[in-house]
Amino acid sequence: MSPVYAERASRLAGAVVWTRGPEGGGAGIVLPDGCMDLLWTEGRLLVAGPDTRAYRSARGPCVGVRFFPGTAPGLLGVPAHELRDRRVELGDLWSGAEVRRLIERVDAAVDPVVAIEELALRLAGDAPPSDPVLRAVVASLAAGRSVSATAESVGLSARQLHRLALGAFGYGPKTLARILRMQRALALARSGVSFAETAVLAGFADQAHLARDVRALTGQSLSGLVRS
Protein backbone atom coordinates (compact mmCIF):
# COMPACT_ATOMS: atom_id res chain seq x y z
CA MET A 1 0.00 0.00 0.00
CA SER A 2 1.28 3.49 -0.85
CA PRO A 3 2.63 5.40 2.19
CA VAL A 4 0.51 8.42 1.21
CA TYR A 5 -2.58 9.08 -0.90
CA ALA A 6 -2.41 7.83 -4.50
CA GLU A 7 -4.95 7.01 -7.20
CA ARG A 8 -5.08 5.44 -10.64
CA ALA A 9 -7.66 4.64 -13.29
CA SER A 10 -9.53 1.41 -12.62
CA ARG A 11 -10.21 -1.40 -15.05
CA LEU A 12 -13.86 -0.57 -14.36
CA ALA A 13 -14.81 2.10 -16.89
CA GLY A 14 -14.82 5.61 -15.43
CA ALA A 15 -13.83 4.47 -11.93
CA VAL A 16 -10.72 5.35 -9.92
CA VAL A 17 -8.85 3.10 -7.49
CA TRP A 18 -7.27 4.97 -4.60
CA THR A 19 -5.14 4.19 -1.57
CA ARG A 20 -4.21 6.01 1.61
CA GLY A 21 -1.34 4.38 3.45
CA PRO A 22 -0.24 4.54 7.10
CA GLU A 23 2.02 7.56 6.62
CA GLY A 24 -0.86 9.43 4.98
CA GLY A 25 -3.26 8.23 7.62
CA GLY A 26 -4.20 11.50 9.25
CA ALA A 27 -7.73 12.82 8.90
CA GLY A 28 -8.28 14.59 5.60
CA ILE A 29 -10.94 16.54 3.76
CA VAL A 30 -12.98 14.83 1.04
CA LEU A 31 -14.63 17.35 -1.26
CA PRO A 32 -17.99 16.86 -3.01
CA ASP A 33 -17.44 15.40 -6.48
CA GLY A 34 -20.69 13.73 -7.53
CA CYS A 35 -19.27 10.26 -6.87
CA MET A 36 -19.82 7.36 -4.48
CA ASP A 37 -17.07 5.07 -3.16
CA LEU A 38 -16.72 1.49 -1.96
CA LEU A 39 -13.90 1.37 0.56
CA TRP A 40 -12.08 -1.05 2.85
CA THR A 41 -10.40 0.04 6.03
CA GLU A 42 -9.04 -2.15 8.80
CA GLY A 43 -11.44 -5.04 8.30
CA ARG A 44 -14.52 -3.01 7.33
CA LEU A 45 -16.29 -2.51 4.01
CA LEU A 46 -18.05 0.85 3.77
CA VAL A 47 -20.03 2.78 1.19
CA ALA A 48 -19.39 6.51 0.98
CA GLY A 49 -22.53 8.21 -0.26
CA PRO A 50 -22.65 11.34 -2.43
CA ASP A 51 -21.56 14.43 -0.52
CA THR A 52 -23.15 17.86 -0.61
CA ARG A 53 -20.44 19.29 1.66
CA ALA A 54 -16.86 18.51 2.59
CA TYR A 55 -16.37 15.39 4.70
CA ARG A 56 -13.56 14.90 7.20
CA SER A 57 -12.32 11.35 6.72
CA ALA A 58 -11.32 9.06 9.57
CA ARG A 59 -7.69 8.32 10.36
CA GLY A 60 -5.91 5.17 9.25
CA PRO A 61 -4.95 3.29 6.07
CA CYS A 62 -7.71 2.79 3.53
CA VAL A 63 -8.28 1.62 -0.05
CA GLY A 64 -11.28 2.24 -2.24
CA VAL A 65 -12.94 2.48 -5.62
CA ARG A 66 -14.53 5.78 -6.60
CA PHE A 67 -17.30 5.05 -9.09
CA PHE A 68 -18.19 7.29 -12.01
CA PRO A 69 -21.08 9.59 -11.01
CA GLY A 70 -24.44 7.84 -11.18
CA THR A 71 -23.15 4.26 -11.55
CA ALA A 72 -22.80 3.06 -7.92
CA PRO A 73 -26.54 2.82 -7.07
CA GLY A 74 -27.07 0.26 -9.82
CA LEU A 75 -24.14 -1.83 -8.55
CA LEU A 76 -25.07 -1.63 -4.87
CA GLY A 77 -28.84 -1.84 -5.23
CA VAL A 78 -29.66 1.27 -3.21
CA PRO A 79 -30.83 4.74 -4.37
CA ALA A 80 -28.12 7.36 -3.96
CA HIS A 81 -30.34 9.79 -2.04
CA GLU A 82 -30.61 7.25 0.81
CA LEU A 83 -26.84 7.52 1.32
CA ARG A 84 -26.44 11.27 0.79
CA ASP A 85 -23.77 12.72 3.15
CA ARG A 86 -23.38 9.34 4.88
CA ARG A 87 -20.77 6.58 5.36
CA VAL A 88 -22.57 3.27 5.75
CA GLU A 89 -21.38 -0.24 6.57
CA LEU A 90 -21.95 -2.49 3.56
CA GLY A 91 -23.46 -4.96 6.04
CA ASP A 92 -26.29 -2.49 6.64
CA LEU A 93 -27.22 -2.70 2.97
CA TRP A 94 -26.57 -6.35 2.18
CA SER A 95 -26.76 -9.72 3.92
CA GLY A 96 -24.40 -9.79 6.88
CA ALA A 97 -23.08 -13.26 6.01
CA GLU A 98 -22.28 -12.22 2.44
CA VAL A 99 -20.47 -9.09 3.61
CA ARG A 100 -18.46 -11.06 6.16
CA ARG A 101 -17.25 -13.34 3.36
CA LEU A 102 -16.26 -10.34 1.27
CA ILE A 103 -14.39 -8.74 4.17
CA GLU A 104 -12.53 -11.98 4.86
CA ARG A 105 -11.53 -12.15 1.20
CA VAL A 106 -10.15 -8.60 1.17
CA ASP A 107 -8.47 -9.07 4.56
CA ALA A 108 -6.71 -12.21 3.32
CA ALA A 109 -5.60 -10.71 0.00
CA VAL A 110 -1.91 -10.09 -0.62
CA ASP A 111 -2.88 -6.70 -2.05
CA PRO A 112 -6.18 -5.22 -0.76
CA VAL A 113 -6.10 -2.69 -3.60
CA VAL A 114 -6.40 -5.48 -6.15
CA ALA A 115 -9.06 -7.22 -4.04
CA ILE A 116 -11.29 -4.15 -3.73
CA GLU A 117 -11.01 -3.50 -7.48
CA GLU A 118 -11.91 -7.13 -8.22
CA LEU A 119 -14.96 -6.75 -5.99
CA ALA A 120 -16.04 -3.65 -7.90
CA LEU A 121 -15.56 -5.43 -11.22
CA ARG A 122 -17.63 -8.37 -9.97
CA LEU A 123 -20.42 -6.01 -8.89
CA ALA A 124 -20.41 -4.43 -12.33
CA GLY A 125 -20.51 -7.85 -13.99
CA ASP A 126 -23.56 -8.89 -11.96
CA ALA A 127 -25.46 -5.61 -12.46
CA PRO A 128 -27.55 -4.60 -15.49
CA PRO A 129 -25.86 -2.20 -17.93
CA SER A 130 -25.76 1.39 -16.69
CA ASP A 131 -28.22 3.83 -18.22
CA PRO A 132 -26.41 5.81 -20.96
CA VAL A 133 -28.64 8.77 -20.13
CA LEU A 134 -26.79 9.16 -16.82
CA ARG A 135 -23.42 9.60 -18.52
CA ALA A 136 -24.97 12.05 -20.97
CA VAL A 137 -26.34 14.09 -18.06
CA VAL A 138 -22.94 14.16 -16.33
CA ALA A 139 -21.16 15.12 -19.55
CA SER A 140 -23.62 17.92 -20.25
CA LEU A 141 -23.53 19.42 -16.76
CA ALA A 142 -19.75 19.01 -16.50
CA ALA A 143 -19.43 21.00 -19.72
CA GLY A 144 -21.38 23.85 -18.12
CA ARG A 145 -24.72 23.42 -19.89
CA SER A 146 -27.80 24.48 -17.97
CA VAL A 147 -30.14 22.02 -16.30
CA SER A 148 -32.95 22.85 -18.73
CA ALA A 149 -30.66 22.39 -21.76
CA THR A 150 -29.40 19.12 -20.28
CA ALA A 151 -32.93 17.81 -19.73
CA GLU A 152 -33.88 18.69 -23.30
CA SER A 153 -30.72 17.04 -24.70
CA VAL A 154 -31.59 13.69 -23.09
CA GLY A 155 -35.30 13.86 -23.86
CA LEU A 156 -36.55 14.35 -20.29
CA SER A 157 -38.74 16.92 -18.62
CA ALA A 158 -37.28 18.90 -15.73
CA ARG A 159 -39.31 16.80 -13.29
CA GLN A 160 -38.17 13.53 -14.86
CA LEU A 161 -34.53 14.64 -14.74
CA HIS A 162 -34.85 15.62 -11.09
CA ARG A 163 -36.32 12.22 -10.18
CA LEU A 164 -33.62 10.41 -12.14
CA ALA A 165 -30.89 12.49 -10.51
CA LEU A 166 -32.08 11.79 -6.96
CA GLY A 167 -31.77 8.06 -7.44
CA ALA A 168 -28.52 8.14 -9.40
CA PHE A 169 -26.58 11.05 -7.88
CA GLY A 170 -28.26 11.59 -4.52
CA TYR A 171 -29.46 15.11 -5.21
CA GLY A 172 -31.07 17.17 -7.94
CA PRO A 173 -29.33 18.19 -11.18
CA LYS A 174 -28.80 21.77 -9.96
CA THR A 175 -26.74 20.53 -7.02
CA LEU A 176 -24.80 18.16 -9.25
CA ALA A 177 -24.12 20.99 -11.70
CA ARG A 178 -22.89 23.20 -8.87
CA ILE A 179 -20.53 20.49 -7.56
CA LEU A 180 -19.14 19.72 -11.01
CA ARG A 181 -18.63 23.44 -11.66
CA MET A 182 -16.65 23.72 -8.41
CA GLN A 183 -14.50 20.73 -9.37
CA ARG A 184 -13.92 22.30 -12.80
CA ALA A 185 -12.82 25.53 -11.13
CA LEU A 186 -10.46 23.75 -8.73
CA ALA A 187 -8.79 21.93 -11.61
CA LEU A 188 -8.24 25.22 -13.43
CA ALA A 189 -6.95 27.07 -10.37
CA ARG A 190 -4.59 24.22 -9.44
CA SER A 191 -3.17 24.27 -12.97
CA GLY A 192 -2.08 27.87 -12.46
CA VAL A 193 -4.98 29.78 -14.01
CA SER A 194 -5.69 33.00 -12.12
CA PHE A 195 -8.77 33.02 -9.90
CA ALA A 196 -10.41 35.74 -11.98
CA GLU A 197 -9.95 33.79 -15.21
CA THR A 198 -10.95 30.56 -13.48
CA ALA A 199 -14.26 32.13 -12.50
CA VAL A 200 -15.00 33.07 -16.11
CA LEU A 201 -13.90 29.76 -17.63
CA ALA A 202 -15.76 27.66 -15.06
CA GLY A 203 -19.02 29.57 -15.51
CA PHE A 204 -19.24 31.74 -12.39
CA ALA A 205 -20.57 35.30 -12.48
CA ASP A 206 -17.30 36.63 -11.12
CA GLN A 207 -14.44 35.80 -8.74
CA ALA A 208 -16.50 36.69 -5.68
CA HIS A 209 -19.21 34.24 -6.77
CA LEU A 210 -16.55 31.54 -7.19
CA ALA A 211 -15.12 32.23 -3.73
CA ARG A 212 -18.57 32.11 -2.07
CA ASP A 213 -19.54 28.84 -3.75
CA VAL A 214 -16.28 27.11 -2.88
CA ARG A 215 -16.60 28.23 0.74
CA ALA A 216 -20.23 27.06 0.91
CA LEU A 217 -19.46 23.60 -0.49
CA THR A 218 -16.14 22.94 1.27
CA GLY A 219 -15.94 25.21 4.30
CA GLN A 220 -12.56 26.41 3.04
CA SER A 221 -11.21 29.22 0.90
CA LEU A 222 -10.26 28.67 -2.72
CA SER A 223 -6.68 29.78 -2.03
CA GLY A 224 -6.43 27.32 0.86
CA LEU A 225 -7.65 24.44 -1.28
CA VAL A 226 -5.25 25.27 -4.09
CA ARG A 227 -2.31 25.43 -1.65
CA SER A 228 -3.24 22.05 -0.14
Give residue 26's pLDDT band: very low, low, confident or very high (50, 70, 90).
very low
Nearest to 32 by CA among 168, 179, 167: 179
Task: Indicate if 105 and 158 belong to the same structural domain.
Answer: no
- Considering the domain architecture, whether residues 16 and 74 belong to the same structural domain is answered as yes
State the residue range of the domain holding 71.
Answer: 5-126
Do residues 111 and 209 both lie within one domain? no
Over the stretch 69-111, which tens digit does the pLDDT of each residue have? Answer: 999 999 999 999 999 999 999 999 998 888 999 999 999 999 9
In degrees, to the nearest 5, what angle opens at C-alpha 127 toward C-alphas 123 and 133? 120
Q: State the sign of the Cα–Cα–Cα–Cα dihedral 210, 212, 217, 218.
A: positive
Q: What whole-number percentage of the chain has pLDDT above 90?
A: 85
Question: Is there a single domain that holds both residue 218 and residue 136?
Answer: yes
Q: Record the pTM.
A: 0.92
Q: Give the Å distances, CA to CA, from 51 to 21, 194, 205.
A: 23, 27, 24
Assess whether 74 and 145 both reside in one domain: no
Residue 90 per-residue DSSP state = G
Q: What is the pLDDT of residues 136-165, one digit of tens each?
A: 999 999 999 999 999 999 999 999 999 999
Other beta carbons within 10 angstroms of residue 152's beta carbon come to 15
Residue 130 above 90 pLDDT?
Answer: no
pLDDT at residue 163, as a whole number: 97
How many domains does one find in the chain?
Answer: 2
Boundary-marking domain end, from 68, 93, 126: 126
Q: What CATH number is associated with residue 162?
A: 1.10.10.60
- For residues 12 and 118, state if they share a domain: yes
25 pLDDT more than 80: no
* Residues 19 and 1: beta-carbon distance below 8 Å: yes
Same domain? 25 vs 136: no
For 30-51, b/e burial (b = at least 16 CB within 10 A) is bbbbbbbbbbbbeeebbbbbbb
Strand partners, 20: 5, 62
